[in-house]
């Protein structure tokens, strides 16, 4: 009875607030139109032909040898990368949390954790080719090896493992911090060795988190387009096969069926990660540690682990540094000295670099605040409001996280090239900057929403209720009470959206037209042609832009963020 009365009261409050009702309706329409509709069109295209409902398209594409091979290759790469990235990430996190390390090693870990955030997704592929390829600086000129090849399965595995292990490292870092040290110290007091404590106490507590990290990495790996495209060679994956099917074979129906197969794999993995392993992780690691952990100072443990991780971190940093250095060499593989700025000069004089950077910056700059605001609105509705469509909004906004960029790109082509349901309505956005901005928003929305939900759950509802009691409407409460309290999350989401947008490639490479030049597309194009000097020059400038955006964000939060305001009050 009480719950029914509470539900009726919530419904009455909601209907009495036209701004809130309008916001919910518009949000549902936006999510349905730009997330669910393109995916539904993919499914319809793959099962409906001229003769009606049929699986003929699926039967046809499964007879294509490269497609069936691509499925096997994709799963194989995802499985191996998931194991490697999870293991390396766990090692780094364990050393940071359990071992007494020096400031130098700690600084290296912080750099490694941030580099994938501010770098384009294919920087490591360029570095591996330039260092270990047939004309590689290390293989050809240092060790005189001329018959090696970095392309193929192992090239993709190495690059993706180095790219994704920082994600696992950050996940394990949080999990290990929350383990109560008294559990492990009790085992030590009973005579167990450090290895026994790790295998019998620490590892069992981490098992759900390990599964979670593995699945997250697996999903990222099989959805990755840029790295397999550059360093995969003849080793086909689903993402690259879909791209070639639509750009090379001009088979849109076949590409739709392939995209549905990839989508089904990622959705299945995402469902397991989201609704099974995340809940188990939360139940296993409860709250914060009761006291500070006694760090390992035994030299026989500390020195080897610190050395291994420090060397690994230095190697990863070297890989990233290789890109700006590569842009200074006259001709990679033949002439390394003297250094030259000719590639940077050609970027702006011969290859329309100003237009590429302007288009990328403007589109990302437009999408970032929209994404950040939408994320905070969705977070607010999910955490602070009760209405029937709340679950739908949360699920669909998070769905974009499980959709590979290539799949989304094909969905937008099939869904909007002829207008909605082939009626011509909204066909005008296809091929314009508007559809690129929309894709940027959709791709970054889940990250900002998760951050906003976490921040809002820490705010007591009585603060907002006081504003409502004083006569403020929902818009006034959100802009003057809620948003200022979560402005750190808003600013963080703003910059994250900007960085993700300006470094995106998998979805927009299928949608970009000659009217727009985007940096990532240019880098991919020159890397495929073997013009590594130009690719490195574009990538170097892009890294500077993204790193600058992160530094500005950190400075703004430091001087104007919520944390500073709280400190001043204290």
For the chain, domains (ranges, CATH) are 57-293 (1.10.3720.10)
Structure tokens at 268: 């299945």
Alpha carbons 156 and 535: distance in angstroms, whole number:
19
Q: Which H/E stretch holds residue 267?
A: helix 252-272
Classify the C-alpha dihedral 182-187-192-198 as positive or negative: negative
- The CA-atom distances, in angstroms, between 556 and each of 252, 325, 409 are 46, 31, 34
Q: Up-side HSE of residue 339: CA atoms within 13 Å toward CB?
A: 6
The pTM of this model reads 0.86
Digit-by-digit pLDDT tens for the chain (570 residues) are 556 656 566 666 666 678 778 888 999 999 999 999 999 998 888 887 656 677 888 888 898 888 999 999 999 999 999 999 999 999 998 888 888 888 888 888 888 877 777 777 788 888 888 888 877 778 877 777 777 778 899 999 999 999 888 888 888 887 888 777 887 778 777 877 778 888 888 888 888 888 888 988 998 899 899 899 989 888 999 999 999 888 887 888 888 889 999 999 988 888 887 777 666 654 444 445 556 777 878 888 888 889 998 998 898 888 888 888 888 887 766 666 678 888 899 998 888 888 999 999 999 999 999 998 899 889 888 887 777 888 888 888 888 888 898 999 999 998 898 889 888 888 889 989 999 999 999 999 988 888 888 777 777 677 766 776 676 777 777 777 777 777 777 877 888 889 889 988 888 888 988 888 899 999 988 888 888 889 999 999 988 888 888 788 777 766 665 545 444 444
Helix 299-326 and helix 103-118, axial crossing angle in degrees, nearest 10: 40
Alpha carbons 259 and 410: distance in angstroms, whole number:
7
C-beta separation of 536 from 326 below 8 A: yes
Strand partners, 335: 331
β strands within 468-559, DSSP E: none
Alpha carbons 19 and 24: distance in angstroms, whole number:
9
| Chain position carrying tokens 């990302």 | 364
Alpha carbons 183 and 195: distance in angstroms, whole number:
14
Alpha carbons 381 and 346: distance in angstroms, whole number:
49
- b (16+ CB within 10 A) / e for 143-154: eeeeeeebbeee
Strands 52-53 and 48-49, how do they pair? antiparallel
Burial (0-12, 13-18, 19+ Cβ within 10 Å), 440:
buried
Q: Which residues fall within 8 angstroms of residue 17, CB to CB, at 6 or more apart? A: 473, 474
C-beta separation of 24 from 387 below 8 A: yes
The DSSP letter of residue 49 is: E
Alpha carbons 508 and 114: distance in angstroms, whole number:
24
C-beta separation of 456 from 384 below 8 A: yes
Cite the DSSP H helix spans in 178-298: 181-189, 194-197, 203-223, 226-231, 238-247, 252-272, 278-284
Helix 433-456 and helix 390-399, axial crossing angle in degrees, nearest 10: 120
């Amino acid at each position: 009875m009480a719950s029914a009365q509470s539900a009726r009261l919530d419904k009455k409050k909601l209907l009495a607030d036209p701004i809130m009702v309008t916001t919910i309706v518009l949000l549902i329409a936006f999510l349905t139109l730009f997330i669910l509709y393109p995916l539904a069109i993919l499914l319809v295209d793959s099962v409906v032909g001229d003769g009606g409902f049929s699986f003929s398209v699926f039967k046809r594409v499964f007879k294509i040898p490269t497609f069936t091979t691509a499925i096997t290759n994709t799963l194989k790469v995802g499985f191996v990368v998931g194991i490697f990235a999870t293991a390396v990430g766990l090692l780094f996190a364990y050393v940071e949390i359990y071992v007494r390390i020096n400031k130098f090693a700690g600084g290296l870990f912080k750099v490694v954790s941030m580099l994938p955030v501010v770098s384009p997704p294919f920087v490591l592929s360029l570095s591996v080719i330039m260092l270990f390829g047939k004309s590689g600086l290390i293989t050809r000129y240092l060790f005189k090896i001329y018959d090696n090849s970095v392309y193929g399965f192992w090239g993709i595995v190495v690059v993706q493992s180095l790219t994704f292990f920082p994600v696992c490292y950050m996940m394990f870092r949080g999990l290990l911090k929350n383990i109560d040290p008294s559990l492990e110290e009790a085992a030590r007091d009973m005579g167990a060795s450090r290895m026994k404590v790790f295998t019998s106490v620490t590892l069992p507590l981490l098992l759900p988190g390990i599964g979670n990290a593995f699945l997250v990495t697996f999903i990222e790996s099989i959805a990755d387009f840029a790295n397999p495209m550059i360093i995969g060679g003849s080793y086909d994956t689903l993402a690259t096969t879909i791209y070639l099917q639509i750009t090379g074979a001009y088979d849109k129906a076949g590409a739709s069926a392939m995209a549905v197969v990839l989508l089904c794999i990622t959705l299945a993995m995402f469902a397991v990660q989201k609704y099974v392993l995340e809940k188990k992780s939360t139940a296993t690691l409860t709250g914060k540690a009761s006291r500070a952990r006694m760090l390992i100072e035994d030299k026989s443990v500390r020195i080897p682990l610190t050395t291994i991780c420090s060397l690994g971190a230095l190697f990863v940093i070297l890989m990233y540094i290789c890109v700006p250095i590569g842009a200074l060499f006259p001709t990679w593989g033949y002439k390394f000295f003297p250094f030259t700025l000719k590639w940077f000069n050609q970027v702006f004089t011969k290859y329309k670099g100003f237009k590429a950077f302007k288009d990328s910056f403007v589109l990302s700059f437009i999408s970032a605040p929209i994404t950040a605001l939408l994320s905070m609105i969705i977070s607010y509705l999910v955490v602070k409001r009760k209405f029937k469509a709340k679950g739908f909004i949360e699920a669909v906004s998070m769905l974009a996280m499980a959709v590979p960029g290539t799949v989304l790109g094909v969905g937008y082509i099939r869904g909007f090239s002829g207008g909605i349901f082939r009626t011509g309505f909204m066909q005008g956005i296809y091929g314009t900057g508007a559809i690129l901005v929309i894709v940027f928003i959709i791709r970054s929305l889940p990250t900002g929403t998760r951050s906003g939900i976490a921040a809002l759950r820490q705010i007591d509802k009585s603060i907002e209720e006081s504003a409502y009691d004083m006569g403020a409407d929902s818009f006034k409460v959100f802009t003057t009470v809620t948003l200022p309290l979560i402005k750190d999350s808003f600013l963080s989401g703003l910059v994250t959206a900007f960085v993700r947008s300006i470094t995106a490639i998998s979805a927009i490479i299928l949608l970009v037209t000659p009217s727009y030049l985007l940096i990532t597309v240019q880098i991919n194009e020159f890397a495929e042609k073997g013009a590594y000097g130009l690719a490195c020059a574009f990538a170097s400038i892009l890294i500077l832009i993204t790193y600058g955006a992160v530094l500005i964000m950190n400075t703004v939060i430091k001087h104007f963020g919520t944390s500073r305001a709280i400190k001043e009050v204290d």
